Structure 1
Amino acid sequence: MNHDINIGALKKNCFRQSKVPGEFMLQMRVPGGLIDAKYLKVIEEIAQKWGNGTFHLGLRQTLNAPGIKYENIEAVNAYIQEYIKEIEIEMCNTNMESNSAGYPNIGPRNIMACIGNSHCIKANINTWELARKLEKEIFPSPYHIKLSISGCPNDCGKGHFNDFGIIGVTKPIYLKDRCIGCGRCAKVCKKAATRVLKLVNHRIEKDTCCCVGCGECVEACPASAWVRPEKKLYRVMVGGRTGKQYPRMGKMFLNWVTEDVIVAVIKNWQTFCANVLDNKPFYIHGGHLIDRAGYQKFKEIMLDGVKLNPEAMVAQRILWAETEYRSNINVKPLCDHPSPGGPYTPKSKVD
C-alpha cells in the first residue's frame, strides 16, 4: 500500500477517503439536482468498472461512486471529462476548462435545489435554472460555500441550514372582483402559514406585515382571486449550519429581492472570503466566516455594488441563536455568549 497518498489533493479533486485504505468515493456535481437522465449511464459505468458496483445519492444531490481504488482515479478523471464539459461549461457556463484532471476544486459544494415550479404546484420560482446561473459565480473556487435553493417557504432544500439559503417567495395580487367570499384562502393561511388573512363582509383583508410570501392562498382559491405576479422574488437566509459543536439555523439577510440582486450578491462571496481570510483560503463554514468578520462587515461587502429593487428589505443586524454545550460535571461553558453576529470567545473547559 502506498502511504504517500495526498488525501487533501484528492479531496479537492472531489474524491472522498474511504475507511478502506486506498479506496475513495467520487462525488459528481449535479448543480440544482436536475440533469438529463442519460447521465445516469456515466455513474453506472464508473460504479461498475472502477467502483464496487453501487452508487450513492449524496445528501447534497451529488452522484457518488464508492469503492474506487487509488490507482484507478486517473482513469476515472479522464472518463468524466466529457461530463464535466457538458454540465459545468456548456450547461452552467462556468469559467473553467475540462481536461483529464477531473474536477479542479471542491470548495463550493454542489448547489442543492428542490424541483421548483417546473413541477411543484407550491413553488414560486424555477430553482434549477437559478442554480445553474449561480454555479458559474461560485465554481470553481478555493473558497467554500454551501448553497441551497427552495421554491417556496416550505424550504424543502433546507436553506436554513446552509451558508446561503435562497427561497422563492411571492407577493400575491388580490383581485377582489373575482372573490366569491368562500374564505378558503384565510383558512389555509391560518392552518399552513402566518394567519394574515381574514374574511370581512365577504371580502378578504390582509395584514401585510407578517406575510411570508408562500402563495398558499393562490393554490387554495377556487376563483383565481389570488394570482402570483410575473415578477419573481426571493428571500435569502445566511449563516445556517449543521455540525458537532455549534449547529444553528440561519437568519434572514434579504427579503423580497429579485434574481438580479441574488446573482450580484453571490458574485461578492469570493471577495468577502478573500477579505476575511487575507487571500489564504482554507476550509471554514460560511457561518463561521460571517462570525469572524461580523455581520456589518459581511453586509457591507456582500451588498457592494448591488442595486436593490424597490421592494427589497435588508436585515440591519442579526442575532444568532446557537447551542451551548454543558456537561453534568463542574465545568465552565465552552464559550461566552456571542455578541450579535460576532464570534465566540473560547474559554477553558474545566475549572
Structure 2
Amino acid sequence: MNQDINVKKVRINCFRQSKVPGYFMLQMRVPGGFIDAKYLSVIEHIAKTWGDGNFHFGTRQTFDITGIAYENIPAVNEYLEAYIKEIDAQDCEVDMNMISHEPAEWDPQSGYPTIGARNITACIGNYHCICGNCNTFELAKKIEPIIFPSHYHIKINIAGCPNDCNKAHLCDFGIIGVARMVYHPERCIGCGACVRACEKGSTRVLKLNENTGKIEKDACCCIGCGECVKACPASAWTRQPEKFYRVILGGRTGRQTPRTGKMFLNWATEDVVLSVLKNWQKFSAWVMDYKPEYLHGGHLIDRAGYKKFKEIILEGVELNPECLVAEDMFWQETEYRSNFNVKPLEMHHHAGPQD
C-alpha cells in the first residue's frame, strides 16, 4: 500500500494507527458507556464489512473496531452518520456544528469531527448498583454537549459512589457521586450494623452510644458512600434526595509522570459541576493561547498552576452552600530514578546463536 497518510488528521477523525501500515482502528464513542443493544448490529456490520471481524471494548468504553484499511475510512464514516446523529446529536443534544465553542460546518458523512474531548466513561451507577448514589449515564449526557466536540483534550470519568470503580482518580476530571445521609433515631434499633459496615468498608465515623443505644457520627470525615444505608435493617439511615458530587482533579496514567488525582470540590451539586465544566474550554484556550495541542487537562493545570486554574474554572460559578473547594493542591508524581549502578541496556548483551 503505497500512499501518504496524514496520521494526525486521521486520528482527529477517531481512527487510530495500527502496527500494520495503512490499517486503522475506529473508536466509536459511547457516552457514559451505555447505549441501546440495537447498536450492536452497527458494530458487527462495520467489523465484518470493513474491519477484520473483531472489536475491542476500549479502555474509555468505546467500541474499537480493528483492521480498517485507510481507503475504507470514507465508507465507514458515511455509514456512521445515523449512529452519530442518534447517539451524540440526539441523545446527548450535542451541536456537531460547534467545535471548541466556535462555529464549524460539520459534514454528517465525514465521521467524528474531533477526538479531543474523549468519550466520557461511567460505571453502571444507581441504574443498577446498590452502591450507586447517582445516575452516571444521565450526568454523562448532560456533560457531553459542554465538552464535545472540541480540539481541547479532556478525559472525564464518572463513578457512582466513592468505591470509584471507574477510576475517577486517574483522569483529568473525575466525578464521584456522594450522598448526604439522614439519621432517623426513632427507627434505630441499636444493632450496630451501620457501625460495623463503616468500620469495615469506609472511614469509621460512626459509633454506638452504649447508654442511649443510638448512633453518633463524626461528620467531618464522612465521604458520602452510603454503606450505612445499605447495612441498616430498619431504614434508620437514608440518603437525602438531592444529589451531590466530589470532583477529583489532575489524575493521570502514562509512562513519565503518572499520579493520583486530588479532591477539588466536595459536596457539589450537579449544577455546580456543569457550571465548572462550562469553563473548561476557556481555561484550556487560555493556557494554550488558543492553539490546541494534544495535551490533557492535568498537564494544562500544571502549566497554569492550581491557583490560576481555580480562578478561571470557578469564574461565574455559584457554589451551593455545602460545597467545599480545595484551598491549594499538591500532587505527588511517580519519579523514575534509580539508586543502582545500572549499565546501559546495550551492555547487557547475551551471546546467542546469531553470534
Does 2:33 align with 1:33? Answer: yes
Shift in Å, 1:236 = 0.0
Counterpart of 1:43 in structure 2 is 43
The amino acid of 2:2's aligned partner reads N
Q: Tell me the CA shift for residue 3 of structure 1.
A: 3.6
1:152-202 alpha-carbon deviations (Å, 9 max, x no partner) = 000011000000000000111000000000010000000000000000031
Q: Which residue of 2 aligns with 1:203?
A: 214
Aligned residue for 1:226? 237
**1:17, 1:25 within 8 Å by CA — same for their partners in 2?**
yes
Partner of 2:169: 160
Cα distance in 2 for partners of 1:291, 1:153 equals 26
Query: What's the TM-score, normalizing by structure 2?
Result: 0.92
Task: Provide the C-alpha distance between the structure 1 equivalents of 2:332 and 2:255, rounded to a whole number of angstroms.
Answer: 15
* Structure 2 residue identity aligned to 1:112: T
* Structure-2 separation of matches of 1:260 and 1:77: 35
From the superposition, tell whether residues 98 and 202 of structure 1 become closer, same or farther in structure 2 (CA, over 3 Å). farther
Distance 1:194 1:2 in 2: 61
Find out whether 1:193 has 2:202 as its counterpart.
yes
Instruction: Say whether residues 1:151 and 2:160 are aligned partners.
Output: yes
TM-aligned CA distance change 1:3 to 1:329, over 3 Å? farther
Deviations 1:80-106 (A, max 9, x none): 000000000000001115611000000
SS for the counterpart of 1:311 is coil
Q: How does 1:128-277 map to 2 (within 5 A)?
A: 128-200=137-209, 201-277=212-288
Residue-by-residue CA offset, 1:126-173 (whole Å, 9 max, x unaligned): 000000100110000000000000000000110000000000001110
TM-score (norm. length: structure 1): 0.93
C-alpha distance in structure 2 between counterparts of 1:295 and 1:102, whole Å? 36
User: Given residue 237 of structure 1, which amino acid in structure 2 is its aligned partner?
Assistant: I
Q: Which amino acid aligns with 2:251?
A: G
Post-superposition Cα deviations, 1:113-135, rounded to whole Å, max 9, x if no partner, equal 00010110100000000001001
Secondary structure at the residue paired with 1:76? helix
Amino acid at match of 2:190: G
1:329 deviation in Å? Answer: 5.2
Structure 2 CA distance for aligned equivalents of residues 137 and 310 of structure 1:
24
Q: Distance in 2 between matches of 1:163 and 1:27?
A: 20
Which digits, 9 at most, give the CA deviation of each residue in 1:316-341, with x for residues without a partner?
A: 0011111111124579xxxxxxxxxx
Distance 2:312 2:94 in 1: 23
1:264-286 deviation per Cα after TM superposition (whole angstroms, max 9, x unaligned) = 00111000000000000001121
SS in 1 for 2:264: strand
Report what 1:63 is aligned to: 63
Structure 2 unpaired stretches of 5+: 97-105, 343-355
Q: Give me the whole-angstrom Cα distance separating, in 2, the residues matched to 1:2 and 1:101.
A: 23
Q: 1:318 aligns with which of 319, 323, 329?
A: 329
| Alpha-carbon distance between aligned partners in 1 of 2:230 and 2:340, rounded to the nearest angstrom | 53
Aligned residues: 331
Structure-1 separation of matches of 2:341 and 2:56: 44
Does residue 283 (structure 1) correspond to residue 294 (structure 2)? The answer is yes
User: Which of 282, 294, 308 pairs up with 2:305?
Assistant: 294
Correspondence for 1:127 among 112, 132, 136: 136
Task: Say if 1:43 and 1:63, in contact at 8 Å, map to a contact too.
Answer: yes
Letter in 1 for 2:306: Y
Q: Encode CA deviations 1:215-266: one digit per residue, 9 max, x unaligned.
A: 0000000000000111000000000000001000000000000000010001
Runs of 4+ residues deviating >3 angstroms: 328-331
Partner in structure 1 of residue 100 of structure 2? none
Matched, 1:85 2:85: yes
CA distance in 2, matches of 1:280, 1:90: 29
Matched residues in 1 for 2:83 and 2:28: separation?
9
